A and B are shown apart, each in its own frame.
Chain A
Amino acid sequence: MHPFLRIIFLACPLGAAACLTACGDHGPAGPPSAAAPPAAAVLSPELQAVYDRSCKNCHAVPASGAPRAGDARAWAPRIAQGADILIEHTFSGYKSMPPLGACMDCNEKQYRALIEFMSGASLKN
């Protein structure tokens, strides 16, 4: 639990549980890895540019709530949901994740490649 939230929890005698109803839920997540391993895949120069200008703003920022690129453990429960759900969340946005992953011109194939790059996993369907 974030130290700030721990304080809030203690400070809410009238409804501690209610104080935390929506806290810190950015989708299913495993505990973050101490050090993010390098991603398994390599991006084309074009997709690397997309990653740098869009994905990186959150997926390379510690504690942003987004699973970090290369952190296979954080990505595992997301990957387990299947490609269809991940793509839908990418298209429509999901909680902190903005629609289209902030890439205004990407197509589905490119989104799949970017997810595979960041997760280090292969999307099955």
Chain B
Amino acid sequence: MQFTRRELIRTFGVAGALGAFGGLPGLLRAADRERIVVWRNWSGGQSCIPADRPAPANEEELAALIRGSAGRVIRPVGSGHSFSPLVPTEGTIVSVAKMSGLISHDNASLQAEFWAGTPVSQMGGPLKEIGQALPNMADIDYQTLAGAIATSTHGTGAKYGSYSSQVVGLRLVTAAGEILDCDAHVHPEVFNAARVSLGALGIVSRVRLQNRNAFRLRSKNWVQDTEELLEDMPRLIRENDHFEINSLLHSDVSVASALNETQETQTKPKEGGGDADKVNMLEGVHTRYRNSPRIQATLLNFIARHLVSFPDAVDDSFKVFANVRDVRFNEMEYEVPAEAGPACLREVLKKIRDQNLNSFIPTEFRYVKGDDIPLSMFQGRDTCAISVHQYYDLDYHNFFAQIEPIFWKYDGRPHWGKLHTLNARLLEPLYPKWKDFLAVREALDPGGRFLNAHLRSVFGVRG
């Protein structure tokens, strides 16, 4: 029989365990020297030492776990890709990773139900086999389905909503350990709130999605003057299914990306690998020429316009949407009214350049269709999503602190999964249905078992 260090101490007490195994070194040998695991998110910017990190294999185990850990804070985790402190707790971090895969589907309605822990990267293949596809996808697919809908994760496309807007039903395991199915007809108030919940209503175990028929995409990328692109933005987002620009900081240019449905059967796969080489080039130029802004801008403009190629790709939709992101970073993103997007981006880029802020990862500028979900950043308005990034190994505080007030000026709502500094007092005026969500949360979890310190601040709930 093998014991972990925790089990040894619980069984024999500290002194007994030390004596029985010949002091601390002996104890460590007996317990296979397992180290303390500090939980960290993808960027490494958030961390905690939880009491435990279970991964229940099914809903019955999940419900029993919740019922059996009364008095302890529970935070669900997907792939740990949120930059904001949604997960950290000294209590229990519950992973839904073992509840993964396609459960069922309906050919007539083009709906499919997945386990909530399914990585988005593992949804495209199974969906294709049943003739379905997600209508839109984010530019990375590392997230789990549960994490993606908890934070209203999105791709780009003025006619397309976030992942949450495609949810037509879900199952929730509540603070009481009860299993609750909900959709537009059954517990509709819970359903509405749970489509974007920050994991504060319980743990979502399965999700039913409204999909479309499988399709193929062509991606086209090019470099152009940022101001020209912003001037032409109404046409670009009208004429392309999915359009975004990534603006190179400290330069005059952006990389534009247009993805459109195609009937072409000849596959042209995306380039392999990630974006580390390109980002490392930007870092190199920025590091060397940061104190010579004109040279930096000239060099970046020239390199981007004349020396970098972005080949077209044609493939199944899920293979074109997703990219490999092999450079880690921290991120802040705000959602501003669609019509305010170009002006807001201009101001962000001007601030970065005027203040010569220390960052080199491009901004991202995307469009998302409005929805009716109480806590969605896209509730009630078509939206432009603007993201700024900081390399994971550089301090982001000073950089983001200078950009965030620009987003406030444009009536921006912070992305729930990304860094921001707003609390309940500042968030409530941004969300017309704020109180609707709080009422559902209070009814489902009056003891605040799913609230960590961050969420208590976000919802204005005292500890």
Docked pose: A66 CA to B80 CA in angstroms: 19
| A1-16, CB < 8 A from B | 2, 4-5, 7-8, 11-12, 14-15
In the complex, whether A63 has a CB less than 8 A from a CB of chain B is yes
In the complex, whether A20 has a CB less than 8 A from a CB of chain B is yes
Please name the residue on chain A nearest to B283 by beta carbon: A22
| B247-304, CB < 8 A from A | 272-274, 276-278, 280-281, 283-285, 287-289, 295, 299, 302-303
Docked pose: A62 CA to B78 CA in angstroms: 25
Contact B79 A102, beta carbon cutoff 8 Å: yes
- For A102, the chain B residues whose CB sits under 8 A away are 42, 79-80, 142
Contact A49 B280, beta carbon cutoff 8 Å: no
| B313-337, CB < 8 A from A | 324, 326-328
| B30-62, CB < 8 A from A | 32, 34-35, 37-42, 44, 53-55
Surface stretch bound by A, among B65-73, B90-98, B339-347, B432-440: B90-98
Contact of B280 among A15, A24, A62, A100 (CB under 8 A): A24
In the complex, whether B148 has a CB less than 8 A from a CB of chain A is no
In the complex, whether B119 has a CB less than 8 A from a CB of chain A is yes
* Total A-B pairs, Cβ < 8 A: 144
- With contacts A14-B295, A104-B53 known, is A91 near B93, CB below 8 A? no
Contact B278 A21, beta carbon cutoff 8 Å: no
Contact A98 B42, beta carbon cutoff 8 Å: yes
Please name the residue on chain B nearest to A95 by beta carbon: B328
In the complex, whether A43 has a CB less than 8 A from a CB of chain B is no
Contact B285 A19, beta carbon cutoff 8 Å: yes
Contact of A105 among B97, B272, B278, B302 (CB under 8 A): B97
- For A81, the chain B residues whose CB sits under 8 A away are none
Docked pose: A43 CA to B285 CA in angstroms: 44
Please name the residue on chain A nearest to B34 by beta carbon: A108
- For B14, the chain A residues whose CB sits under 8 A away are none
Those 7 A-B pairs whose CB atoms lie nearest each other, nearest first: A63-B273, A99-B40, A18-B288, A105-B55, A19-B284, A104-B95, A105-B95
List 16 A–B pairs whose Cβ atoms lie within 8 Å, in order of A's numbering: A11-B302, A12-B285, A18-B287, A21-B287, A24-B276, A24-B280, A61-B274, A63-B274, A65-B326, A92-B38, A96-B274, A104-B53, A104-B55, A105-B55, A105-B95, A108-B37
